[in-house]
Chain A
Amino acid sequence: MKKGKIAMTITIGIACFALVTVMMMQFKVVNETDITAIEEMQESELKTELANWKSRYEEIDAQYQEVTQRIEEYKNDEESNSEASQLVQEELEQTNTLLGLTDVHGEGIVITLKSGENTAAISADDLLIIVNALKFAGAEAISINDQRIINTTDIVYITSGDFIKVNGQRILEPYVIKVIGNQSHMESAVTGTGGKVDELQALDHTVTIEKDNDITIGKYDGEIETRYIE
């Protein structure tokens, strides 16, 4: 009984000791940090912050309303402008087509030229004359060996390598000229008396003309640069 009582007393004493130690530590912390001051400060800070944010929110909301209104206006404008823009778009497409920047297809003819064995090879001039004749007859799109003929296209003979360059690209025989346009006009432009095809055939070159109701001509795959046009 006595032993139990002593143990109990000591235990309670140690418990009190631990408790008060921790309590004192806590008191010190609380004193040093001054919790209430921190809390008050934080609260007031938060309050001002909140007020700031609120006013800012209102400002931004007003801005947002304004912008939405403007967007609405623009939308209305756009609707009235859509017809015009569609026209512009169509025009742009047409221009691109004419410039040769789009793939095109339609009825036309395919002229295949192959030099005869015993005569001088087909020259760049011959090709030029044919292209010119086709253009004169109203060709809408022309390509030689898949090189689209556009307004800046060059057809030149390179003496050193004995080959022809179109659009700066080397092309080899047989030369396949694809033309989109009125078939009979195209054909008559290069055949008959004075027609280049007949002339070449007379010179023992192999030239065939095929009519096709759906020729596809690829777009010009280079870039059109203007350096001096202002």
Chain B
Amino acid sequence: MIFIAILIGCILGAILGLNAPMISYTYSSYLAIAIIAALDSVFGGIASIIKKNFDLKIFISGFFGNAILAILLTILGQKLNVDIYLAAIVVFVWRMFMNLGTIRRYYVEKWSDMIKEKATAKKAKENTDKEKSEKA
């Protein structure tokens, strides 16, 4: 269900983005940092869905708040001649990896559980077969 939503969102977004007008190169650095922040929020959202503590308000406020804050920090950094956006990128990417780790662990565990269940089921089946043959 979630993956379908993500997929549809991505496809529609790609179509719209490719047809959108060009933005000036000057603003592309701000846009880049906003993208990183939004990406982090999306991964965080997926991770929280997996952890089952997803909150719509937190997700939306994080999605926009982080992006805007990152842009503002980048502007401030340019005014101060300090590369503040580097710190923002470090934080966002670090969190992205944490969230990706959560997602990965969840699916790996799910998968290994599935394999284990299959194995136990097979064993059980073999056992029942054996019993049947012994009886026979």
Contact = CB atoms under 8 A, between A and B. Distances in A.
A7 B38 CA distance: 19
B45 A12 contact: yes
Contacts of A75: none
Interface string B6-50: 101110111011101011010010011011001101100110010
Contact of B9 (A5, A14, A33): A14
Contacts of A55: none
Given A12-B2, A12-B46, A25-B23, A19 B12 contact: no
B42 A17 contact: no
Contacts of A29: 22-23, 25, 28, 31
A168 interface: no
B1 interface: yes
Interface residues of B, number: 34
Interface in A1-40: 4-5, 7-30, 32-33
B124 interface: no
Contacts of B42: 12, 15-16, 19
A69 B8 CA distance: 79
Interface string A191-207: 00000000000000000
B96 to A, nearest CB: 12
Nearest to B62: A15
A5 B16 CA distance: 26
Chain A contact-residue range equals: 20 to 34
B63 interface: yes
A13 B22 CA distance: 24
Residue from B9, B12, B59 with most neighbouring chain A CB atoms (10 Å): B9
B23 A13 contact: no
Contact of A17 (B13, B31, B35): B13
B54 interface: yes
Interface in B66-103: none
A20 B34 CA distance: 12
Contact of B38 (A10, A12, A15, A33): A15
A23 B54 CA distance: 24
Contacts of B49: 8, 12
Contacts of B60: 11
Contacts of B8: 13, 17
B56 A8 contact: yes
User: Which 7 pairs across A and B sit closest by C-beta, in order of nearness?
Assistant: A24-B17, A20-B13, A16-B9, A13-B5, A17-B9, A13-B9, A21-B17
Given A11-B45, A15-B38, A25-B17, 9 more contacts: A11-B56, A11-B59, A11-B60, A18-B38, A20-B9, A21-B14, A28-B18, A29-B25, A30-B28
23 contacts: A8-B56, A12-B5, A12-B45, A15-B38, A15-B63, A16-B10, A16-B42, A17-B8, A18-B13, A18-B38, A18-B63, A19-B35, A20-B10, A21-B20, A23-B13, A24-B14, A24-B16, A25-B17, A25-B23, A26-B32, A28-B17, A29-B28, A33-B28
